[in-house]
Amino acid sequence: MTPNPQIVKSIKQLDYRVTVGEVSAIAGLEINIAQQGLLALAADAGGHLQVAESGDVVYLFPKNFLGILRNKYWQLRWQEWWGKVWKVLFYLIRVSFGIVLIASIILMLLAIAAIVIAISSSGRDDDDRGGSFGGGGMIFLPRFWIGPDFFWWFYPDYNSRRRQRRKTTTDDNQMNFLEAVYSFLFGDGNPNADLEETRYATIGQAIQNNDGAVVAEQIAPYVDRTDADEDYMIPVLARFNGYPEVSPEGEIIYYFPELQVMANRRQKRALPNYLQEQLWRFTQANSSQKMLAIGLGGVNLILALVLGSLLQDPSIAVQLGGLVAFVNSIYGVLVGYGIAFLAIPLIRYFWIQGRNQKISTRNQARESRANILQQASDSLKQKLLFAQQFAQQKVISDRDLAYTTEDDLLDQNLQNADKIDAQWQQRLESNSSD
């Protein structure tokens, strides 16, 4: 079984000595999944089990356990190799859209120039139209393409150079223009792709920060739906093996024994007052890159329409052949790309507006529930006081251990026997002194 990357990450964050509750809380995983994953990792990576006298279990991993796993599982080696390859492939995919845009413009410019020159040299009646294409237009467009400032857009450090020239800018975008074209077309991914993982990791940390006992109002700022019956706590109880408890006043609190056990004493983690979803961004390209992308998209579409009007006579492509024939064969693709280049961002813009409105509504609702908790009423304060009766923090130190797989069982039995004899000796001495 391939190791769970969330569990592996949690072990490293917790300094290689963990309990099931700690991993479950920091990774937002179900208790059972965290326990099974830790047992599998301990077996595969040479980890050790430390059992306290209370029956609580601590998992101790060697600091090179990732190297052990990497040597044992070809899937991990494959994932690491594929991750490196995918970065290169994805970069090529990103820049390919900008390359196709520029290539289509150049192809259409060359085809239009060839057609216009052929028409002009043939002495047809539409010399004026041919002159307009072969004269002013052809003089302007080459100057536009070969200008020295234009090609700086393709360098990865273009923006840093631009910031040196314009120190007043606050734009920290590091994309070159070819990457910006992809970002303009398709955006930069879902900013809330790991929302559920973040949600339950935050809830787990909130429970641990309150020593394993909370009221529903403390969890409400991190969930989407709440109700008077507190049914939204059921998934939290199921995930972290929690239990409800009813106060004498009939109020319900929730405590989580397994999240109260820690391998080391740790500081409480700072958490946001509520779970805040990130708004979707249309693009991370800067304003200059966006304007250039729109301008080139417009030029591309205009050139496609001009080329289409010149190719209305099928004999032109046949007579000229070569580049003109090739462009004529892919003309439908060029037109489709030109339309899609402007249509896709436009559709995505309105879709993002609707999406962000829903996200803002959910954020505002969670923020209002966080304000209720901060301005606690008298009844809520009573619930919080009752929850503190169940709050505790159990830290399993080496002195609390009854057994560990690091040492031989016989040696541990002898050590435990010596420990018991020492305890009895202390008791006898204290009784004799009394």
104-119 average pLDDT score: 88
**Residues 264 and 384 placed together within one structural domain of the fold:** yes
Of 45 and 21, the structure prediction assigns the larger pLDDT to 21
Lowest mean pLDDT segment, chosen from 78-82, 314-318, 394-398: 314-318
Do 111 and 134 lie in one domain? The reply is yes
Which one of 109-123, 177-191, 300-314, 419-433 scores highest in mean pLDDT? 177-191
In this predicted structure, what is the pLDDT of residue 310? 85
**Residues 307, 181: one domain?**
yes
Share of the chain above pLDDT 70, in %: 81
> Do 122 and 245 lie in a common domain?
no
Residue 244: strand pairing partners: 254
Question: Could you tell me if 169 and 208 lie in one domain?
Answer: no
Backbone φ and ψ of 122, nearest 5° = -80, -10
pTM of the model: 0.75
Same domain, 87 and 150: yes
One domain, residues 286 and 271:
no
Residue 353 included in any domain: no
Tokens of 134: 């072969």
pLDDT of residue 148: 38
Split at pLDDT 50, 70, 90, the class of 430 is low
For the chain, what is the mean pLDDT?
A: 82
Q: Is the pLDDT of residue 114 over 70?
A: yes
Confidence of residue 226 (pLDDT cuts 50, 70, 90): confident
Listed range (101-105, 149-153, 311-315) with the worst mean pLDDT: 149-153
Q: Are residues 166 and 305 in the same domain?
A: yes
Separation of alpha carbons 82 and 94, rounded Å: 18
- Is residue 348 one of the residues assigned to a domain? no
* Residue 334 belongs to some domain of the structure: no
pLDDT > 50? residue 140: no
Report the half-sphere exposure of 248 (CA within 13 A, side-chain side).
Answer: 4
pLDDT at 399: 83
Please say if the pLDDT value at position 174 is more than 70: yes
Are 231 and 296 within one domain? no
Using DSSP, state whether 326 is helix, strand or coil: helix
Say whether pLDDT at 395 is over 80.
yes
**Are the beta carbons of 266 and 411 closer than 8 angstroms?**
no
Whether residue 35 is predicted with pLDDT greater than 60 in this model: the reply is yes
In a domain, 418, yes or no: yes
How large is the average pLDDT for residues 271-300? Answer: 93
Given this model, what pLDDT does residue 429 score?
A: 58
Query: Looking at residue 132, what is its pLDDT?
Result: 43
Least confident of 53-57, 375-379, 420-424: 420-424
Instruction: Report yes or no on 87 lying in a domain.
Output: yes
The CATH code of the domain that includes 428 is: 1.10.10.10
Strands 252-255 and 243-246: antiparallel
Q: Is residue 217 part of a domain?
A: yes
Work out the number of other CB atoms within 10 angstroms of the CB of residue 32.
13
CA distances (Å), origin 339, targets 164, 188, 215, 299: 36, 21, 55, 11
Contacts of 354-360 spanning 24+ positions with Cβ under 8 A: 355/280, 356/279, 356/280, 359/192, 359/277, 359/278, 359/279, 359/280, 360/279
Domain membership flag for residue 340? no
Structure confidence at residue 149 (pLDDT): 43
Q: Name which residue leads in pLDDT, 312 or 24.
A: 24
**Number of domains into which the chain is organized:** 3
Once rounded to an integer, what is the mean pLDDT over residues 47-62?
Answer: 90
Residues 121 and 220 in one domain: no
Same domain, yes or no: 371 and 264: yes
pLDDT one-digit tens code per residue, 158-167: 444 444 444 4
Query: What's the whole-number mean pLDDT along residues 20-44?
Result: 92
pLDDT bin (cut points 50, 70, 90) of residue 432 is low
Q: Is residue 345 part of a domain?
A: no
Over range 71-90, report the average pLDDT: 81
Q: 98, 360, 389: which is closest to 248 by C-alpha? A: 389
Say whether pLDDT at 265 is over 70.
yes
What pLDDT is recorded for position 153?
41
Q: Which domain holds residue 26?
A: 1-72+397-434
Q: For residue 431, is pLDDT > 60? A: no
Say whether both 266 and 199 belong to one domain.
Answer: yes
- Whether the pLDDT of residue 168 is over 50: the answer is no
